[in-house]
Protein backbone atom coordinates (compact mmCIF):
# COMPACT_ATOMS: atom_id res chain seq x y z
CA UNK A 1 0.00 0.00 0.00
CA UNK A 2 2.98 2.32 0.43
CA UNK A 3 1.81 4.29 3.45
CA UNK A 4 0.41 3.71 6.90
CA UNK A 5 -2.28 6.26 6.09
CA UNK A 6 -3.49 4.08 3.19
CA UNK A 7 -3.68 1.18 5.61
CA UNK A 8 -5.62 3.23 8.13
CA UNK A 9 -8.17 4.16 5.45
CA UNK A 10 -8.93 0.46 5.05
CA UNK A 11 -9.21 -0.16 8.80
CA UNK A 12 -12.96 -0.80 8.49
CA UNK A 13 -12.44 -3.63 6.05
CA UNK A 14 -13.89 -6.95 7.20
CA UNK A 15 -10.66 -8.43 5.83
CA UNK A 16 -8.81 -7.62 9.07
CA UNK A 17 -11.14 -9.20 11.64
CA UNK A 18 -11.37 -12.19 9.34
CA UNK A 19 -7.60 -12.69 8.99
CA UNK A 20 -6.22 -11.04 12.15
CA UNK A 21 -9.02 -11.93 14.51
CA UNK A 22 -9.19 -8.25 15.49
CA UNK A 23 -9.31 -4.83 13.90
CA UNK A 24 -6.20 -3.15 12.55
CA UNK A 25 -4.54 -0.55 14.79
CA UNK A 26 -3.91 3.10 13.91
CA UNK A 27 -1.01 4.34 11.75
CA UNK A 28 0.59 5.95 14.82
CA UNK A 29 0.43 2.71 16.77
CA UNK A 30 1.94 0.67 13.93
CA UNK A 31 4.87 3.10 13.69
CA UNK A 32 5.36 3.14 17.47
CA UNK A 33 5.25 -0.67 17.71
CA UNK A 34 7.87 -1.09 14.97
CA UNK A 35 10.19 1.27 16.84
CA UNK A 36 9.89 -1.00 19.92
CA UNK A 37 9.84 -4.35 18.14
CA UNK A 38 12.56 -6.96 18.64
CA UNK A 39 14.34 -7.44 15.29
CA UNK A 40 15.69 -10.82 16.45
CA UNK A 41 12.14 -12.18 16.62
CA UNK A 42 11.49 -11.15 13.02
CA UNK A 43 14.75 -12.81 11.97
CA UNK A 44 13.54 -16.01 13.64
CA UNK A 45 10.37 -15.75 11.59
CA UNK A 46 12.42 -15.58 8.38
CA UNK A 47 14.49 -18.54 9.56
CA UNK A 48 11.30 -20.50 10.23
CA UNK A 49 10.21 -20.05 6.58
CA UNK A 50 13.67 -21.08 5.37
CA UNK A 51 13.61 -24.14 7.62
CA UNK A 52 10.19 -25.31 6.39
CA UNK A 53 11.17 -24.83 2.74
CA UNK A 54 14.49 -26.59 3.27
CA UNK A 55 12.81 -29.60 4.86
CA UNK A 56 10.33 -29.71 1.98
CA UNK A 57 13.24 -29.77 -0.50
CA UNK A 58 12.04 -26.51 -2.08
CA UNK A 59 15.50 -24.88 -2.00
CA UNK A 60 17.76 -27.08 -4.15
CA UNK A 61 21.40 -26.05 -4.56
CA UNK A 62 23.34 -25.69 -7.80
CA UNK A 63 24.92 -29.10 -8.29
CA UNK A 64 26.17 -29.31 -4.71
CA UNK A 65 26.82 -25.59 -4.22
CA UNK A 66 24.44 -23.38 -2.28
CA UNK A 67 24.59 -19.79 -3.50
CA UNK A 68 23.87 -16.43 -1.83
CA UNK A 69 24.39 -12.86 -3.04
CA UNK A 70 25.32 -9.86 -0.96
CA UNK A 71 24.94 -6.16 -1.74
CA UNK A 72 24.49 -2.75 -0.19
CA UNK A 73 21.46 -0.56 -0.81
CA UNK A 74 20.71 3.03 0.10
CA UNK A 75 17.12 3.29 1.22
CA UNK A 76 16.39 7.01 1.41
CA UNK A 77 17.93 10.45 1.74
CA UNK A 78 16.75 13.58 3.49
CA UNK A 79 18.10 17.05 4.26
CA UNK A 80 15.57 17.70 7.00
CA UNK A 81 14.76 14.68 9.07
CA UNK A 82 17.34 12.57 10.78
CA UNK A 83 17.57 9.99 13.54
CA UNK A 84 20.21 8.29 15.66
CA UNK A 85 20.78 5.71 12.90
CA UNK A 86 21.29 8.20 10.06
CA UNK A 87 24.52 8.37 8.09
CA UNK A 88 25.66 11.82 7.02
CA UNK A 89 27.50 13.27 4.05
CA UNK A 90 28.23 16.75 2.84
CA UNK A 91 26.70 17.74 -0.47
CA UNK A 92 28.73 20.60 -1.86
CA UNK A 93 26.62 23.51 -3.06
CA UNK A 94 26.85 24.56 -6.69
CA UNK A 95 26.88 28.15 -8.00
CA UNK A 96 27.90 29.71 -4.70
CA UNK A 97 25.26 27.91 -2.66
CA UNK A 98 26.24 26.67 0.78
CA UNK A 99 27.23 23.06 1.50
CA UNK A 100 24.46 20.99 3.02
CA UNK A 101 24.43 17.91 5.23
CA UNK A 102 22.47 15.06 3.71
CA UNK A 103 21.15 12.25 5.91
CA UNK A 104 20.64 8.74 4.61
CA UNK A 105 20.35 5.09 5.54
CA UNK A 106 22.21 2.19 3.96
CA UNK A 107 21.84 -1.51 4.57
CA UNK A 108 23.62 -4.64 3.39
CA UNK A 109 21.28 -7.46 2.36
CA UNK A 110 21.88 -11.16 1.83
CA UNK A 111 19.67 -13.10 -0.58
CA UNK A 112 19.67 -16.87 -0.93
CA UNK A 113 19.58 -17.96 -4.59
CA UNK A 114 18.46 -21.59 -4.80
CA UNK A 115 18.25 -23.45 -8.09
CA UNK A 116 14.86 -23.92 -9.76
CA UNK A 117 12.96 -27.16 -9.37
CA UNK A 118 11.95 -28.71 -12.69
CA UNK A 119 9.09 -26.76 -14.26
CA UNK A 120 9.12 -23.90 -11.77
CA UNK A 121 10.95 -20.73 -10.90
CA UNK A 122 13.45 -20.69 -8.05
CA UNK A 123 12.28 -19.42 -4.66
CA UNK A 124 14.69 -16.60 -3.84
CA UNK A 125 14.73 -15.81 -0.13
CA UNK A 126 15.77 -12.55 1.50
CA UNK A 127 17.62 -13.95 4.50
CA UNK A 128 18.83 -10.94 6.44
CA UNK A 129 19.72 -7.25 6.45
CA UNK A 130 22.18 -5.21 8.50
CA UNK A 131 22.17 -1.40 8.81
CA UNK A 132 25.43 0.37 8.07
CA UNK A 133 26.56 2.34 11.12
CA UNK A 134 28.03 5.83 11.21
CA UNK A 135 31.79 5.78 10.62
CA UNK A 136 32.03 2.31 9.12
CA UNK A 137 32.30 1.24 5.49
CA UNK A 138 29.97 -1.18 3.69
CA UNK A 139 32.47 -4.03 4.03
CA UNK A 140 32.42 -3.81 7.85
CA UNK A 141 28.60 -3.92 7.77
CA UNK A 142 28.72 -6.91 5.42
CA UNK A 143 31.11 -8.86 7.67
CA UNK A 144 28.85 -8.26 10.69
CA UNK A 145 25.87 -9.47 8.63
CA UNK A 146 27.75 -12.54 7.37
CA UNK A 147 28.90 -13.50 10.87
CA UNK A 148 25.28 -13.50 12.07
CA UNK A 149 23.87 -15.23 8.97
CA UNK A 150 26.51 -17.98 8.92
CA UNK A 151 25.86 -18.62 12.61
CA UNK A 152 22.12 -18.75 12.00
CA UNK A 153 22.20 -20.61 8.65
CA UNK A 154 25.47 -22.63 8.78
CA UNK A 155 24.66 -24.86 5.81
CA UNK A 156 22.37 -22.66 3.71
CA UNK A 157 25.05 -21.64 1.21
CA UNK A 158 28.65 -22.42 0.21
CA UNK A 159 29.34 -19.48 -2.11
CA UNK A 160 28.79 -15.73 -1.69
CA UNK A 161 28.51 -13.54 -4.81
CA UNK A 162 29.27 -9.82 -4.59
CA UNK A 163 30.28 -6.82 -6.68
CA UNK A 164 33.76 -5.36 -7.16
CA UNK A 165 33.62 -3.46 -3.86
CA UNK A 166 33.99 -6.83 -2.10
CA UNK A 167 37.12 -7.93 -3.95
CA UNK A 168 39.08 -7.36 -0.74
CA UNK A 169 41.29 -9.69 1.29
CA UNK A 170 39.26 -9.29 4.54
CA UNK A 171 36.09 -10.41 2.71
CA UNK A 172 37.74 -13.38 0.99
CA UNK A 173 39.58 -14.46 4.15
CA UNK A 174 36.46 -14.14 6.31
CA UNK A 175 34.58 -16.51 4.00
CA UNK A 176 37.53 -18.92 3.76
CA UNK A 177 37.74 -19.05 7.57
CA UNK A 178 34.06 -20.02 7.67
CA UNK A 179 34.44 -22.71 5.00
CA UNK A 180 32.72 -20.66 2.29
CA UNK A 181 33.76 -19.53 -1.17
CA UNK A 182 33.74 -16.01 -2.60
CA UNK A 183 33.15 -14.84 -6.17
CA UNK A 184 33.32 -11.12 -6.95
CA UNK A 185 33.78 -8.85 -9.93
CA UNK A 186 37.45 -7.92 -10.47
CA UNK A 187 37.83 -4.39 -11.78
CA UNK A 188 40.71 -2.46 -10.32
CA UNK A 189 43.45 -2.30 -12.95
CA UNK A 190 45.94 -0.92 -10.39
CA UNK A 191 46.11 -4.27 -8.65
CA UNK A 192 48.84 -6.83 -9.19
CA UNK A 193 46.24 -9.56 -9.58
CA UNK A 194 44.44 -7.65 -12.30
CA UNK A 195 47.67 -6.79 -14.10
CA UNK A 196 48.89 -10.40 -13.97
CA UNK A 197 45.55 -11.67 -15.24
CA UNK A 198 45.53 -9.06 -18.04
CA UNK A 199 48.98 -10.24 -19.17
CA UNK A 200 47.65 -13.82 -19.30
CA UNK A 201 44.56 -12.73 -21.29
CA UNK A 202 46.88 -11.15 -23.85
CA UNK A 203 49.22 -14.17 -24.04
CA UNK A 204 46.78 -17.10 -23.95
CA UNK A 205 44.10 -17.80 -26.56
CA UNK A 206 40.57 -18.02 -25.14
CA UNK A 207 38.24 -21.00 -25.34
CA UNK A 208 34.87 -20.72 -27.04
CA UNK A 209 31.86 -20.94 -24.78
CA UNK A 210 28.23 -19.87 -24.44
CA UNK A 211 26.17 -18.17 -21.77
CA UNK A 212 22.50 -18.51 -22.68
CA UNK A 213 22.28 -17.22 -26.25
CA UNK A 214 25.54 -15.30 -25.95
CA UNK A 215 28.67 -16.45 -27.68
CA UNK A 216 31.64 -16.15 -25.34
CA UNK A 217 35.41 -16.23 -25.29
CA UNK A 218 36.57 -17.60 -21.97
CA UNK A 219 39.83 -17.39 -20.08
CA UNK A 220 40.20 -19.28 -16.81
CA UNK A 221 43.36 -19.10 -14.71
CA UNK A 222 43.41 -21.00 -11.41
CA UNK A 223 46.06 -20.99 -8.68
CA UNK A 224 47.17 -17.39 -9.12
CA UNK A 225 49.53 -16.24 -6.38
CA UNK A 226 49.46 -12.51 -7.13
CA UNK A 227 47.07 -11.70 -4.29
CA UNK A 228 49.16 -12.83 -1.30
CA UNK A 229 46.88 -11.09 1.24
CA UNK A 230 44.29 -13.81 0.58
CA UNK A 231 45.12 -17.04 2.41
CA UNK A 232 44.80 -19.23 -0.68
CA UNK A 233 45.65 -18.98 -4.38
CA UNK A 234 42.79 -17.42 -6.33
CA UNK A 235 41.23 -18.05 -9.71
CA UNK A 236 40.42 -15.40 -12.30
CA UNK A 237 37.75 -16.01 -14.95
CA UNK A 238 37.03 -13.69 -17.85
CA UNK A 239 34.09 -13.90 -20.23
CA UNK A 240 33.98 -11.72 -23.34
CA UNK A 241 30.39 -12.01 -24.52
CA UNK A 242 28.69 -11.12 -27.77
CA UNK A 243 24.96 -10.92 -28.27
CA UNK A 244 22.72 -9.23 -30.79
CA UNK A 245 20.07 -6.66 -29.89
CA UNK A 246 17.43 -5.16 -32.14
CA UNK A 247 18.02 -1.47 -32.69
CA UNK A 248 14.88 0.55 -31.91
CA UNK A 249 15.64 2.98 -34.72
CA UNK A 250 15.52 0.59 -37.68
CA UNK A 251 14.86 -2.84 -36.17
CA UNK A 252 18.20 -4.15 -37.41
CA UNK A 253 20.33 -6.49 -35.35
CA UNK A 254 23.30 -4.91 -33.69
CA UNK A 255 26.12 -6.86 -32.07
CA UNK A 256 26.92 -5.87 -28.50
CA UNK A 257 29.80 -7.10 -26.41
CA UNK A 258 30.26 -7.20 -22.69
CA UNK A 259 33.47 -8.02 -20.89
CA UNK A 260 33.40 -9.60 -17.43
CA UNK A 261 36.24 -10.55 -15.12
CA UNK A 262 35.67 -12.29 -11.80
CA UNK A 263 37.95 -13.46 -9.01
CA UNK A 264 36.97 -16.50 -6.98
CA UNK A 265 38.15 -19.18 -4.57
CA UNK A 266 36.00 -21.85 -6.31
CA UNK A 267 38.23 -24.79 -7.34
CA UNK A 268 38.48 -25.75 -11.01
CA UNK A 269 37.89 -29.45 -10.35
CA UNK A 270 34.50 -28.75 -8.74
CA UNK A 271 33.27 -25.80 -10.81
CA UNK A 272 33.82 -25.59 -14.58
CA UNK A 273 34.40 -22.31 -16.40
CA UNK A 274 30.81 -22.37 -17.67
CA UNK A 275 29.41 -22.70 -14.15
CA UNK A 276 31.73 -20.01 -12.78
CA UNK A 277 30.51 -17.64 -15.52
CA UNK A 278 26.91 -18.54 -14.63
CA UNK A 279 27.56 -17.73 -10.96
CA UNK A 280 29.20 -14.46 -11.99
CA UNK A 281 26.03 -13.39 -13.80
CA UNK A 282 23.81 -14.61 -11.00
CA UNK A 283 25.08 -11.79 -8.82
CA UNK A 284 22.56 -9.57 -10.61
CA UNK A 285 19.69 -11.55 -9.11
CA UNK A 286 19.86 -9.56 -5.86
CA UNK A 287 19.54 -6.37 -7.91
CA UNK A 288 16.89 -7.56 -10.37
CA UNK A 289 14.78 -9.79 -8.16
CA UNK A 290 15.66 -8.31 -4.75
CA UNK A 291 16.11 -4.54 -4.53
CA UNK A 292 14.09 -3.65 -7.66
CA UNK A 293 11.09 -5.58 -6.46
CA UNK A 294 11.45 -4.46 -2.83
CA UNK A 295 11.46 -0.81 -3.91
CA UNK A 296 8.91 -0.88 -6.71
CA UNK A 297 6.63 -3.69 -5.57
CA UNK A 298 6.85 -3.54 -1.78
CA UNK A 299 7.56 0.16 -1.07
CA UNK A 300 10.43 -1.03 1.10
CA UNK A 301 12.40 2.26 0.79
CA UNK A 302 9.53 4.26 2.24
CA UNK A 303 10.25 5.54 5.73
CA UNK A 304 7.12 4.56 7.64
CA UNK A 305 8.62 5.89 10.87
CA UNK A 306 11.97 7.62 11.00
CA UNK A 307 13.59 5.64 13.79
CA UNK A 308 16.54 3.23 13.40
CA UNK A 309 14.79 0.22 14.93
CA UNK A 310 11.53 0.94 13.08
CA UNK A 311 13.39 1.15 9.75
CA UNK A 312 15.14 -2.18 10.40
CA UNK A 313 11.93 -3.88 11.52
CA UNK A 314 9.80 -2.57 8.64
CA UNK A 315 12.48 -3.93 6.28
CA UNK A 316 12.49 -7.33 8.00
CA UNK A 317 8.66 -7.36 7.81
CA UNK A 318 8.99 -6.64 4.07
CA UNK A 319 11.48 -9.55 3.80
CA UNK A 320 9.00 -11.82 5.58
CA UNK A 321 6.18 -10.72 3.27
CA UNK A 322 8.38 -11.10 0.17
CA UNK A 323 9.46 -14.61 1.18
CA UNK A 324 5.94 -15.76 2.08
CA UNK A 325 4.43 -14.27 -1.09
CA UNK A 326 6.95 -15.94 -3.41
CA UNK A 327 6.66 -19.23 -1.54
CA UNK A 328 2.88 -19.03 -1.87
CA UNK A 329 3.18 -18.24 -5.57
CA UNK A 330 5.61 -21.07 -6.31
CA UNK A 331 4.39 -23.77 -3.95
CA UNK A 332 0.75 -23.15 -3.07
CA UNK A 333 -0.94 -22.00 -6.27
CA UNK A 334 -1.83 -24.89 -8.53
CA UNK A 335 -0.14 -24.64 -11.94
CA UNK A 336 -3.48 -24.28 -13.76
CA UNK A 337 -4.41 -21.31 -11.54
CA UNK A 338 -0.94 -19.76 -11.82
CA UNK A 339 -0.87 -20.17 -15.60
CA UNK A 340 -0.80 -16.80 -17.40
CA UNK A 341 -1.26 -14.74 -14.23
CA UNK A 342 1.65 -12.67 -13.06
CA UNK A 343 2.72 -11.92 -9.53
CA UNK A 344 1.44 -8.35 -10.00
CA UNK A 345 -1.98 -9.81 -10.76
CA UNK A 346 -1.98 -11.71 -7.46
CA UNK A 347 -0.76 -8.78 -5.40
CA UNK A 348 -3.52 -6.53 -6.86
CA UNK A 349 -6.03 -9.29 -6.28
CA UNK A 350 -5.06 -9.40 -2.60
CA UNK A 351 -5.24 -5.63 -2.18
CA UNK A 352 -8.62 -5.62 -3.96
CA UNK A 353 -9.87 -8.11 -1.38
CA UNK A 354 -9.04 -5.64 1.38
CA UNK A 355 -10.78 -2.72 -0.36
CA UNK A 356 -13.79 -4.76 -1.46
CA UNK A 357 -14.58 -5.68 2.12
CA UNK A 358 -14.92 -2.04 3.25
CA UNK A 359 -18.42 -0.82 3.90
CA UNK A 360 -18.21 2.77 2.61
CA UNK A 361 -21.40 3.70 4.44
CA UNK A 362 -19.53 3.48 7.75
CA UNK A 363 -17.13 6.36 8.32
CA UNK A 364 -13.59 5.37 9.37
ZN1 LIG B 1 17.67 8.24 10.09
Ligand 1 centroid–CA 305 distance in Å is 9
Ligand 1 centroid–CA 78 distance in Å is 9
- Give the pLDDT score at 120: 80
Ligand 1 centroid–CA 103 distance in Å is 7
Ligand 1 centroid–CA 106 distance in Å is 10
Strand pairing report for 125-131 and 159-162: unpaired
Q: Give the pLDDT confidence of 185-221 residue by residue, as tens digits.
A: 999 777 899 999 999 999 999 999 999 999 999 999 9
Ligand 1 centroid–CA 86 distance in Å is 4
Ligand 1 centroid–CA 92 distance in Å is 20
Ligand 1 centroid–CA 129 distance in Å is 16
Give the residue among 296, 258, 257, 262 at the shortest CA–CA distance from 277.
Answer: 262
Ligand 1 centroid–CA 75 distance in Å is 10
Q: Is the dihedral of CA 148, 152, 154, 160 positive or negative?
A: negative
Are 71 and 162 within 8 A, CB to CB?
A: yes
Ligand 1 centroid–CA 226 distance in Å is 42
Ligand 1 centroid–CA 39 distance in Å is 17
Q: Which residues of 297-331 are buried (b: 16+ CB within 10 A; e: fewer)?
A: ebebbebbbbbebbbbbbbbbbbbebbebbbebbe
If one counts every other C-beta atom within 10 angstroms of the C-beta of residue 111, the result is: 25
Give the residue among 139, 178, 143 at the shortest CA–CA distance from 157.
Answer: 178
The model carries a pTM of 0.93
Ligand 1 centroid–CA 349 distance in Å is 34
Q: What is the DSSP string of 65-83?
A: B-EEEEEEEEEEEESS---
Ligand 1 centroid–CA 80 distance in Å is 10
**Distance of alpha carbon 237 from the chain centroid:** 23
Are 276 and 220 within 8 A, CB to CB?
A: yes
Q: Give the pLDDT confidence of 270-296 residue by residue, as tens digits.
A: 999 999 999 999 999 999 999 999 999
pLDDT digit string (tens) for the chain, length 364 residues: 889 998 998 988 999 999 889 888 899 999 999 999 999 999 999 999 999 999 999 999 999 999 999 999 998 888 888 899 999 999 998 888 899 999 999 999 999 999 998 878 899 999 999 999 999 999 999 999 999 999 999 999 999 999 999 999 999 999 999 999 999 999 977 789 999 999 999 999 999 999 999 999 999 999 999 999 999 999 999 999 998 888 888 888 888 999 999 999 999 999 999 999 999 999 999 999 999 999 999 999 999 999 999 999 999 999 999 999 999 988 888 888 888 888 889 889 989 999 999 877 765 5
- Give the pLDDT score at 292: 93
- Give the pLDDT score at 190: 75
- Give the pLDDT score at 246: 84
Ligand 1 centroid–CA 87 distance in Å is 7
Give the residue among 223, 261, 274 at the shortest CA–CA distance from 62.
Answer: 274
Ligand 1 centroid–CA 43 distance in Å is 21
- Give the pLDDT score at 335: 82
Q: Give the pLDDT confidence of 308-350 residue by residue, as tens digits.
A: 999 999 999 999 999 999 999 888 888 888 888 888 898 899 8
Ligand 1 centroid–CA 311 distance in Å is 8
Cα 220–Cα 239–Cα 276 angle in degrees, nearest 5: 60
Ligand 1 centroid–CA 185 distance in Å is 31
- Give the pLDDT score at 363: 58
Q: How many residues does the chain have?
A: 364
Amino acid sequence: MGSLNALELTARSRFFPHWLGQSVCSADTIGRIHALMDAAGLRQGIHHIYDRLKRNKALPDHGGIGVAALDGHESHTSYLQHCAGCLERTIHGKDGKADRIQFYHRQVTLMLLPAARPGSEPIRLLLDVEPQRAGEDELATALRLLARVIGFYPRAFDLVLADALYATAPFFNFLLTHGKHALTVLKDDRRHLYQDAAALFAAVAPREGAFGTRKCSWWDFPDLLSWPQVHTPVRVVRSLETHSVKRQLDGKDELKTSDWTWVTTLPVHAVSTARAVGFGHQRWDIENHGFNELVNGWHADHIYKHDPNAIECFLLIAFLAFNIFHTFFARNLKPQIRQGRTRIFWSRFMVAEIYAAINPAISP
